[in-house]
Amino acid sequence: MAAAAMAALCFACGQPRDDSAIFTPAHRSAGDAARDFFGIHAKVEQPIEFPHSVHVAKGLKCTAYCHASVTKGPVAGLPSVETCMICHSAIATDRPLIQKITALEAQHLDLSWQRVYGYSAQAHVRFNHAPHIRAKVECSTCHGDIAHQTVAQRNVDLNMGFCVNCHRDRKVSNDCLTCHY
Amino acid sequence: MSHRWGMAVDLDRCTGCEACVVACHAENNIPTVGAEEAARGRAMHWIRVERYWEGEFPDARLKFRPVLCQQCSAAPCESVCPTYASHHTDEGLNAQVYNRCVGTRYCANACPYSVRFFNFFNPIWEKPLHLQLNPDVSVREVGVMEKCTFCVQRIKGAELQASEEQRELKDGEIKPACAQSCPATAIVFGDLNDPESQVSRLSKSGRGTKLLEEVGAEPNITYLQRHFDV
Amino acid sequence: MDRRDFIKLTVVTGASATLASCGNPEHQLIRFVPDDETTPGVAEIKHSICPLCRGGCGVDVRVMEADAEVVREGKTGVMRMAVAKKLEGNPAHPISQGKLCARGQASIQLTYHPDRIAHPLKRTGPRGSGQFEAITWDAAIAELVSHLDALAAAGDQKALAFLSRPRTGLRGELVAQVLAAFGAAPPITYELFGEDVLRRANLLSFGRDQLPTFDLARTRYLVSFGADFLGTWNSPVAQNAAYGLMRQGRPGVRAKFVQLEARMSQTGANADEWLPVRPGTEGVAALGIAHVMIAAKLRPASAGGRAGALIEGWAAGLPDYTPQRVEQATGISPARLERLAREFAAGEPAAAIIGGAALAHTNGLFQALAVNALNALAGSVGAPGGLTFTPQANLMNANARGRTSPRAVRELATALLSAPKPRVQLLMLDDTNPVFATPSAWRVREAFEKVPVIVSFGQFVDETSALADLILPDHSFLESWVDGMPESGAIVAVASVAAPVMKPLHQTRAMPDVLLEVARKLHKPLGAAVPWQTFDEMLHKAFASLPAPKDGDAWTAAQAQGGWWGEPAAATKAEAADAHQRPAAAAEPRFDGAPNEYPFHFLPYASTQFMDGSTAHLPWLQEMPDPLTSGMWSSWIEINPKTADRLKVATGDVVEIASQHGTLRAPAYVSPGIAPDVVAMPVGQGHQTFTRFASGRGENPVRILAPLSDTETGALAWAATRIKLTRVGGPDGSLVLFGTSMPEHPEYGR
- Strand, coil or helix: what is B96? strand
Q: Please, which residues have CB within 8 angstroms of residue C599's CB and are 6 or more apart in sequence?
A: C677, C722, C724, C725
| pLDDT over 90 (residue C324) | yes
Pick the residue of B131, B210, B213 with the most C CBs within 10 A to test the interface with C by mutation.
B131
Q: In this predicted model, what pLDDT tens digit does every residue of B19-36 receive, in sequence order?
A: 999 999 999 999 999 999
Share of residues in chain C with pLDDT > 70 (%): 95
CB contact under 8 A, A175 and B139: no
| Interface residue C30 vs chain A (CB under 8 A) | yes
Determine the Cα–Cα distance for residues B165 and C175; give it in Å rounded to an integer. 50
| Interface residue A115 vs chain C (CB under 8 A) | no
Chain A: partners with 3+ C-beta pairs within 8 Å: B, C
Which residues from chain C sit within 8 angstroms of residue A16, using beta carbons? 22
pLDDT tier at C573, thresholds 50, 70, 90: confident
ipTM score of the complex? 0.98
Which residues from chain B sit within 8 angstroms of residue C107, using beta carbons? none
Q: In this predicted model, what pLDDT tens digit does every residue of C224-271 receive, in sequence order?
A: 999 999 999 999 999 999 999 999 999 999 999 999 999 999 999 999
Q: In this predicted model, what pLDDT tens digit does every residue of A17-56 receive, in sequence order?
A: 555 789 999 988 888 889 888 888 878 889 899 999 999 9
Q: Which fold has domain C121-192+398-565?
A: Rossmann fold (3.40.50)
Which chain A residue is nearest to residue C27, measuring alpha carbons?
A12
Sign of CA dihedral A162, A165, A166, A168: positive
Mean pLDDT computed over C686-712: 96
Residues of A (52-111) whose Cβ lies below 8 Å from C: 69, 72-75, 77, 80-82, 105, 108-111
Determine the Cα–Cα distance for residues B139 and B123; give it in Å rounded to an integer. 9
Partner residue facing C40 (CB), from A28, A75, A112: A75
Bond preceding residue C349 cis, omega within 30 of 0: yes
Partner residue facing C266 (CB), from B16, B32, B61: B16
User: What is the average pLDDT value for chain A, to the nearest integer?
Assistant: 86
Q: Tell me if domain C121-192+398-565 and domain C600-737 are identical in fold.
A: no
Q: Between residues C631 and C748, which one has the greater pLDDT?
A: C631
Instruction: Sheet containing C350-354: give its strands across.
Output: C273-276, C256-261, C221-225, C350-354
Which residues from chain C sit within 8 angstroms of residue B135, using beta carbons? 41, 64, 66, 85
| pLDDT over 60 (residue B219) | yes
Partner residue facing A6 (CB), from C31, C42, C75: C75
Q: Which domains does chain B have, with CATH numbers?
A: 5-224 (3.30.70.20)
Q: How many CA atoms lie within 13 A of C218 on its CB side?
A: 14
Determine the Cα–Cα distance for residues C566 and C393; give it in Å rounded to an integer. 9
- Domain range annotation of chain C: 10-111, 121-192+398-565, 196-388, 600-737
The pTM of this model reads 0.95
pLDDT tier at C28, thresholds 50, 70, 90: low
Q: Chain A residues within 8 A (CB-CB) of chain B? A: 21-26, 121-124, 126, 128, 130-131, 134, 175-177, 180-181
- In 3-state terms chain B splits into helix, strand, coil percentages (rounded to 5) of 25, 20, 55
Mean pLDDT computed over A3-26: 59
Sign of CA dihedral B22, B23, B25, B29: positive
CB contact under 8 A, B95 and A181: yes
Contact C237, B23 (CB under 8 A): no
| pLDDT over 50 (residue A5) | no
Q: Which of A59-68, B102-111, C37-46, C710-719 shows the lowest per-residue confidence on average (mean pLDDT)?
A: A59-68
Chain C: partners with 3+ C-beta pairs within 8 Å: A, B
Mean pLDDT computed over C487-499: 97
Partner residue facing C28 (CB), from A42, A80, A112: A112
User: What is the average pLDDT value for chain C, to the nearest integer?
Assistant: 93
CB contact under 8 A, A23 and B142: no
Interface A:C, Cβ pairs < 8 A: 112
Cβ neighbourhood burial of C11 (10 Å; 0-12, 13-18, 19+): middle
Which conformational region is residue B48 in: left (phi greater than 0), alpha (psi within -120 to 50 degrees), or beta? Answer: beta
Q: H or E stretch including C675?
A: none
Select C196-388's CATH number: 3.40.228.10, 1.20.1080.10, 3.30.2130.10, 3.50.50.60: 3.40.228.10
Select C10-111's CATH number: 3.10.20.30, 3.40.1740.10, 3.40.50.720, 2.20.25.90: 2.20.25.90
Q: In this predicted model, what pLDDT tens digit does every residue of C627-683 receive, in sequence order?
A: 999 999 999 999 999 999 999 999 999 999 999 999 999 999 999 999 999 999 999
Predicted pLDDT at B44: 96
CB contact under 8 A, B183 and C237: yes
CB contact under 8 A, B209 and C748: yes
Which residues from chain B sit within 8 angstroms of residue A164, using beta carbons? none
> What DSSP character marks residue C457?
-
Q: How far is C85 from chain B (nearest CA, A)?
A: 5
Determine the Cα–Cα distance for residues C83 and C81; give it in Å rounded to an integer. 6
- Domain range annotation of chain A: 48-78+113-178
CA distance readout (Å), C530 to C65, C181, C605: 37, 7, 41
- Strand, coil or helix: what is C354? strand
> What secondary structure does DSSP assign to B187-227, as a single string?
EEEEETT-TTSHHHHHHT-TTEE-TTGGG----SEEEEPPP
Q: In this predicted model, what pLDDT tens digit does every residue of C112-148 receive, in sequence order?
A: 999 999 999 999 999 998 899 999 999 999 999 999 9
Q: How far is C473 from chain A (nearest CA, A)?
A: 16
| Interface residue B129 vs chain A (CB under 8 A) | yes
Which residues from chain B sit within 8 angstroms of residue A134, using beta carbons? 164
Which residues from chain A sit within 8 angstroms of residue B30, using beta carbons? none
Mean pLDDT computed over B157-162: 96
CATH number given to C600-737: 2.40.40.20
CA-closest candidate to residue C626, choices B38, B37, B17: B17
Determine the residue type at C679: V
CB contact under 8 A, A23 and B95: no
CB contact under 8 A, B149 and A181: yes
Q: How far is A126 from chain B (nearest CA, A)?
A: 7
| pLDDT over 80 (residue C580) | no
Determine the Cα–Cα distance for residues B194 and B171; give it in Å rounded to an integer. 9
Mean pLDDT computed over A81-100: 93
Q: How far is B149 from chain C (nearest CA, A)?
A: 18
Phi, psi (5° rounding) for residue C96?
A: -80, -30
| pLDDT over 80 (residue A15) | no
CB contact under 8 A, A25 and B97: no
Mean pLDDT computed over B43-49: 97
